[in-house]
Amino acid sequence: MATAAATMAVATHHPRARPRLRVCAAWDMNPGAATVAVPKPSKAKAKPPAIPTTPARPPPPTHADLFARSSEGQVDAGGVKKSTYMGFEKWWLPPPPEVKKPRSLYSAASLAYLGDCIYELYARRHFFFPPLSINEYNKRVMDVVKCESQDLLLNKLLGEDFLTEEERDILRWGRNIVSSKTRTRKRAGIAVYNRASSLETLIGYLYLTNFKRLEQLMFQLGFTSGASSQHIADELRSSFQ
C-alpha cells in the first residue's frame, strides 16, 4: 500500500504529468434536452376599456301616432286582442271605484254629474287633433255638449237600436232628475233637458260598471281618438236646420 501511494504522489508531481480536465456539457447543449422558448415581452400598447355606448333613442311619436287607435295588442285568455296605447293596455280614463250596484248607492243625478264630465272629456279628446286655437276648441266642444246635441245623439242611439234593455232602463231612471239649472231648462225645454240628463246618467253608469261598453257607445255616437273634423257638429247642425 505504501508503495502504491508513493507511486501516485510521484506521478502527480512529475513534471511530465498532465492535469486531468473534466468537461461538463450545459443542459441546453444536450441534444436530448427539450428547448424551452422564453416568451418575449409584448411591445403592443394595451387598449383602453371600451366605453358602453347609449343606444339611440327612437324619434318622438307624432300626433297621429299618439291618437291613432292601435289594432295591435296582447291577447287575453279568451283569444280577444286587448287594445293598447303606447305599449300599455288602453285605459286612458282614471280607474273608477269598485261599485257593483251603482243604483243602490248613488242617485241618477249623481251618475249624471259624473257622466257629464266624462262626456265632455270624450268631446275634448275628439277635437284635440289637429291642433287648434283655444277659442276654436271651445266652439267645437260646446256644439256637442249642450242639451240639444245630447238629445239628438240619444235619438241616434235609440233609432239604431244600439242600446240593451238594461241601458234603456237606466235612461228611464235618469229622466226623472230634478235640477236647478233653470236657464238651461228654459232654453232647451224640460223634455230635451231630461233626455240629455238621461244620456249623462247612462254614461256615468257605464263608466262605473263596463268601460268597454262605454267605449263602444261613445264610438257609436261618433267620438273617435284619431284625426277628427267637425263631423259630429256638422251632423247636428244639419239636424237643427
Burial classification of residue 200, based on how many CB atoms lie within 10 Å of its CB (0-12 exposed, 13-18 middle, 19 or more buried): buried
HSE (side-chain half, CA atoms, 13 Å) at 67? 18
DSSP 37: P
Cell of 31: 441534444
C-alpha 23/C-alpha 29 separation (Å) is: 13
Q: What are phi and psi of 238, to 5 degrees?
A: -65, -30
Residue found under cell 296605447: 85
Cα 170 from Cα 158, distance rounded (Å):
13
| β partners of residue 89 | 84
Residue 163 near residue 174, CB atoms below 8 Å: no
28 carries an active-site annotation: no
Closest CA to 147 of 175, 108, 106: 175
- Write down the catalytic residue from 28, 65, 76, 116: 116
Residue type, 185: R
Question: How many helices and strands (H and E) does the chain possess?
Answer: 11, 2
Cell of 223: 267620438
**Which residues are marked as active site?**
116
